[in-house]
Amino acid sequence: MEYFYKITTYFSYVKIVQERTFPHTYAMVFKRFIPPVILTKFLSLRILIMDNVNQNIISQRLKGITESATLEMTRRSRELKARGFDIINLSIGEPDFNTPAPVKEAAKEAIDNNITHYPPVAGFRGLQEAIVEKLKRDNNLNFSPEQIVVSNGAKQSLANIFLSILDPGDEVIITAPYWVSYADIIKLAGGKVVALQTSIEDDFKLNPEKLEAAINSKTKAFLFNSPSNPTGMVYSAEEMAGLVNVLKKHPDLLVVSDEIYEHINYSGKHVSIASFPEIKGQAVVVNGVSKCYAMTGWRIGYMAAPLFLAKVCTKLQGQYTSGAGTISQMAALKAMKNPPQDSEYIHEMVSAFQDRRDLLVEKMGEIPGIKIYVPEGAFYLFPDVRSYFGKTDGETVINNATDFSLYLLNKAHVALVTGEAFGDPNCVRISYATSGHLLEEAVKRIKTALKNLN
């Protein structure tokens, strides 16, 4: 190893020195004896080997964290695309719409007005006030601006909360299937994930008895998500009331409500679990502009929390990222000022999603052995595909949802995400944040590929 390191170091020096000082000689002599492709491969092999040595310094905390499966699938499909395959990517978790024009204008104005200096850690007062107004207007929630912390996306809001409240061994109850990052954020904060399994048979909904049975002296929080990623399930107010009856008996337990898909709801007006007066004071709302305003890249999310928690999260955020980007904050302010019922933009986007959902439900429903739950929100279908487990095309055996999604990627050139990443090994997630035309083509390909399985 030592010799390998010395030799490769020598070659890299020779290459750099020759390239810089004698470019002509380098081209004439060095390239002639060692073609650049081989040299590059040789040097990257060295980096790989040296990387392995350096991995020893990674913390135990990080070793338990997995790469996001949705990002992994996107990476694989990009690789295949780069090799010339015509891949339809249905693994993506963001709207295929662009940020509304007035929002973009507000960002440009912010630049022109030099709103480019460090912002307050918890967000501009004007944005905090707009969020307070939005929570009152859309969700019947009463918070003060001091209770609002603006962050780099709802993901950071969740990380702030769990890093602030969890000690090793503390438990957080979530419902499986769950959004990929929940489990890893909780683990990163030192907590233990208690995932209560639901299935397509119970519409992916948690019942109060199951919740009650899972709460013990170590339970610090219950993480609730409606409309849900990955299932598209939406709890009714009555169903929420059942859960609230349990939660109110445990006033020390924090109820974290992730409402990021709030406006992408086909079943009626969004209800926030935090609006139940019985749990007022123990609820934290997490929301943001990513999904409903097609602003995933602007990275603005927020929490509305009990004052003590907002203060401690601000302290934490102040020490590692400071306030969210000023230009993005001004853009988010513009987006949130507009009531959703007046927003043509939201209407158009949600109605397009609903049409695609109907199309996908109909077409996927025609494929034998695929069990469909009709989503009422978000932009995902989460079909149960377990009837294909044990089948083969003579080459590949499908043992689980991961094999199923890899089979479709390789044979149908359609990228989905395995349900295993979301805590449900019987399902796969299909994002319909893409055109109806591509969805039809994708289903056609899936149908053909699945016909070959026996």
Q: Does 153 bind ligand PLP (CB under 6 A)?
A: yes
Q: Does 288 bind ligand PLP (CB under 6 A)?
A: yes
Residue given tokens 């609820």 in the structure block:
283
Distance CA 371, CA 382 (A): 9
Query: Which of positions 167-206 make contact with ligand PLP (CB under 6 A)?
Result: 179
Cβ burial of 135 (10 Å; 0-12, 13-18, 19+) is buried
Of 294 and 446, nearer to ligand PLP (C-beta) is 294
Residue of minimal CB distance from ligand PLP? 153
* Residues comprising the chain, all counted: 454
Q: Does 272 bind ligand PLP (CB under 6 A)?
A: no
Distance CA 443, CA 122 (A): 45
Report the nearest approach of ligand PLP to the CB of residue 230 (Å).
Answer: 8
Q: Does 418 bind ligand PLP (CB under 6 A)?
A: no
Report the nearest approach of ligand PLP to the CB of residue 14 (Å).
Answer: 46
Half-sphere exposure (Cβ direction) of 101: Cα atoms closer than 13 Å: 1
The one-letter amino acid at 220: K
**What does DSSP say about strands 254-258 and 283-288: parallel, antiparallel, or unpaired?**
parallel
Report the nearest approach of ligand PLP to the CB of residue 229 (Å).
Answer: 4
Q: For ligand PLP, which residue of 12, 296, 400, 402 counts as binding (CB under 6 A)?
A: 296
Q: In 3D, which of 254, 143, 130, 128 has the Cα closest to residue 189?
A: 254
Of 229 and 314, nearer to ligand PLP (C-beta) is 229
Interface stretch with ligand PLP, choices 113-121, 138-146, 153-161, 235-243 (CB under 6 A): 153-161
User: Does the N-terminal peptide bond of residue 227 adopt cis geometry, omega within 30 degrees of 0?
Assistant: yes
Report the nearest approach of ligand PLP to the CB of residue 233 (Å).
Answer: 12
Query: Which of positions 82-111 make contact with ligand PLP (CB under 6 A)?
Result: 93
Residue 146 · residue 129 · CB < 8 Å? no
Which contacts qualify for 397-406: CB closer than 8 Å, 24 or more apart? Answer: 398/453, 400/425, 401/425, 401/426, 401/427, 401/428, 404/428, 405/73
Q: Does 260 bind ligand PLP (CB under 6 A)?
A: yes
Q: For ligand PLP, which residue of 15, 76, 134, 155 counts as binding (CB under 6 A)?
A: 155
Interface stretch with ligand PLP, choices 37-45, 109-117, 149-157, 437-445 (CB under 6 A): 149-157
Distance CA 254, CA 231 (A): 24
- Site residues (CB under 6 A) for ligand PLP? 93, 153-155, 179, 225, 229, 258, 260, 288, 290, 296, 301
